[in-house]
Structure 1
Amino acid sequence: MNIKELHNPVWKRSDNLRDPSVYKASDGYYLFYSRYSNNDWSRPENWSVACTFTRDFIHFENDRDISGKGFASPGDVIQWNGKYILPYQSYPDVPTMLCYSLSEDLKNWSDPVFFLEEAMELPWNQANRVIDPTFVTEGERLHCFFVGTDRVHYQSATNLVGHAYTDDPELKKWIITTVDKPLIGAYDEAPDGAENVTVFNNGKEWVMIYSEGLKNQHLAYIVSTDLIHWHSRGRIDIPVQSWLTTRYGAPFVWKEDDCWMMILMGEDKDSHTTLGLLTSADGFSWKLLSEQ
């Protein structure tokens, strides 16, 4: 990938492209995303988890759905017990649940396996829905960050971030660390909460970047040394480009040789969503690629 040759948005289609995540392989990049079609949010047949492959973020090939209809929001692909595992969610039918698929080659994926169903019953998850899974491996321990929704204690539906971990190779026994209260709640700048978490280690600490707010969505970050206790919240401001004039969110971060990369979903004035790239030297201050 030659960053100097790239311009935002790096990828756009007639479908709405949402919730990107990237797996960097030896021969290029697998880009996973939510494909949203036909502008009817409520119909499961308009949602699917999709994947495309690119070597340079200019040419994209083999774009196809890897889930059935009625699924969305792919998280981090990790390697687990000799296979790749991709977390995502059922959507939009209720109950909205977390699931994952397994693969041996990043191309062929298993049917969804549902997990962490107990998160639907958390006292702060009043809507009994669990969305936006993010996996992080720490040795033989697997962490999962997820989002629930409270429709009782706030003026409007509010998304809140929770956390669980497992030492079970079969991913069936989970310990939820956020039973009594969420990891990320509502703030003055984001009274309707947070969603779409990405987590990476900068060599000194864990950094979480997430979509803060739903109506007035922007990016924020917190840091941790153990993936359980988080602090030092800050806002990430980025310049406006035409492909993200309405709002932006659903960040995903990975490391290139000389910088950090972020892929981001942007919504333009016509409510169409596309994907763009940012770079950072430290993972906190981000610069958009130039707009085409």
Structure 2
Amino acid sequence: MLNLNRLKNPIWTRSDNLRDPSVFKTKEGYHLFYSRFSNKDWSKPENWSIGHVFTKDFIIFDKDRDISPKGFASPGDVILWGGRYIIPYQAYPERPTKLCFSQSQDLILWSEPEFFMEEALELPWNQAQRTIDPTFVVDGDTLHCYFVGTDLINYSGHTNLIGHAVTKDTDLRKWDILSTDKPLIGVGKDAPDGVENVVVINRDNQWTMIYSEGLKNQHLAYAVSDDLYTWELKGRLEIEAQNWIATRYGAPFIWKEDDMWLMILMGEDAENNTAFGLLSSTDGLKWNMLQDK
């Protein structure tokens, strides 16, 4: 059991900007995957990569290294599928921005990126030909992928929208895109420029999706579903203000820790540096921050 009393937010900061956390818990500890963003120039692929670090307690972080080539970002949920671990992510920032995955037998050594579902670049609501932020959810023999595309003409400029696809293919080559004509989740009164960064958990036999809502004024929102296909939007999730999220926050990732839910969150401070913090919850909806440093 993780001892939260020893921790304060933000739990991890680096000279690089830390973004898009994803955690895979094992009996030995926690594998933390993230987007490493260096040198403050978003436009250069050499400034982006998928990082990996191991921690037993979120105090000491060991063996920090890249598991992808340069030019990749935004790791999603690590899953077991077809007898191996798979992690989805995206090429970034070069266009077209395509979804990809790597596979591993031990969570340490990962294959080169393999692109998948490239047909999503041509969806009518994805005029930017941009697919980002993939999230995998396994339900029986079906693998769900939630992803983000970008509309350029139907709203007030660049607008991120969530799409949905499923497969039973262990090689991830054949997908059925369910959100062909319109996105699964789009704009709302609190998100005129769209949504991104999805995580899905099963809470009391109901699926709950928590995601970043809004781009300029980003915050968290959630939706619920009984079947992973039809979602009811529930609105904003309130988060306590702290210094490390003074500018904005988003890209949540959630996992179960005994009888408690934990969320690792990306925050941006007043100097525009991004770091990771932790929150806890007994029900997956009301979240409590660790004490701020």
Could you say which TM-score interval applies, normalised by the shorter chain?
A: over 0.9
Separation in 2 of the partners of 1:170 and 1:232?
32
Separation in 2 of the partners of 1:284 and 1:29?
23
TM-score scaled by structure 1? 0.99
Separation in 2 of the partners of 1:125 and 1:74?
21
Q: CA deviation at 1:249?
A: 0.1
TM-score scaled by structure 2? 0.99
Deviations 1:59-117 (A, max 9, x none): 00000000000000000000111110000000000010000000000000000110010
Q: Secondary structure at the match of 1:4?
A: helix
Q: CA deviation at 1:258?
A: 2.2
1:167 aligns with 2:168: yes
Separation in 1 of the partners of 2:97 and 2:140?
29
Deviations 1:113-166 (A, max 9, x none): 100101111110010010000000011110000000001111120000000000
Specify the code of the residue in structure 1 equivalent to 2:224.
Answer: V
1:131 aligns with 2:132: yes
Specify the code of the residue in structure 2 equivalent to 1:196.
Answer: N
Specify the code of the residue in structure 1 equivalent to 2:268.
Answer: E
Specify the code of the residue in structure 1 equivalent to 2:261.
Answer: W
Aligned partner of 1:10 in structure 2 is 11
Unaligned segments of structure 1, at least 5 residues: none
Aligned partner of 1:236 in structure 2 is 237
Specify the code of the residue in structure 1 equivalent to 2:255.
Answer: W
Separation in 2 of the partners of 1:129 and 1:81?
27
Specify the code of the residue in structure 2 equivalent to 1:266.
Answer: G
Aligned partner of 1:213 in structure 2 is 214
1:222 aligns with 2:256: no
Separation in 2 of the partners of 1:224 and 1:58?
35
Deviations 1:22-57 (A, max 9, x none): 000110000000000000000000000000000000
Q: Following TM superposition, where does structure 1 have runs of at least 4 consecutive aligned residues deviating by more than 4 angstroms?
A: none
Separation in 2 of the partners of 1:166 and 1:203?
25
* Larger deviation, residues 179-188 vs 246-255: 179-188
Q: CA deviation at 1:287?
A: 0.8
Q: CA deviation at 1:233?
A: 1.8
* Larger deviation, residues 178-187 vs 31-40: 178-187
* Larger deviation, residues 232-241 vs 85-94: 232-241
Specify the code of the residue in structure 2 equivalent to 1:202.
Answer: R
Separation in 2 of the partners of 1:135 and 1:227?
11
Deviations 1:149-194 (A, max 9, x none): 0011111200000000001122111111111111110111110000
Separation in 2 of the partners of 1:168 and 1:40?
38
Aligned partner of 1:97 in structure 2 is 98
Aligned length, in residue pairs: 292
Separation in 2 of the partners of 1:190 and 1:234?
10
Separation in 1 of the partners of 2:125 and 2:191?
17
Separation in 1 of the partners of 2:95 and 2:159?
17
Identical residues among aligned pairs (%):
63
Specify the code of the residue in structure 2 equivalent to 1:192.
Answer: D
Separation in 1 of the partners of 2:12 and 2:241?
17
1:72 aligns with 2:70: no
Q: CA RMSD in A?
A: 0.6
Aligned partner of 1:189 in structure 2 is 190
* Larger deviation, residues 198-207 vs 27-36: 198-207
Separation in 2 of the partners of 1:164 and 1:177?
5
Separation in 1 of the partners of 2:18 and 2:26?
22
Matches within 5 A, 1:1-292: 1-292=2-293
Q: Secondary structure at the match of 2:161?
A: strand
Separation in 2 of the partners of 1:233 and 1:31?
29
Deviations 1:193-248 (A, max 9, x none): 00000001013200000000000000000000110100042210111100000000
Specify the code of the residue in structure 1 equivalent to 2:113.
Answer: P
Separation in 2 of the partners of 1:106 and 1:5?
27
Unaligned segments of structure 2, at least 5 residues: none
Separation in 2 of the partners of 1:125 and 1:189?
21
Q: Secondary structure at the match of 1:119?
A: helix
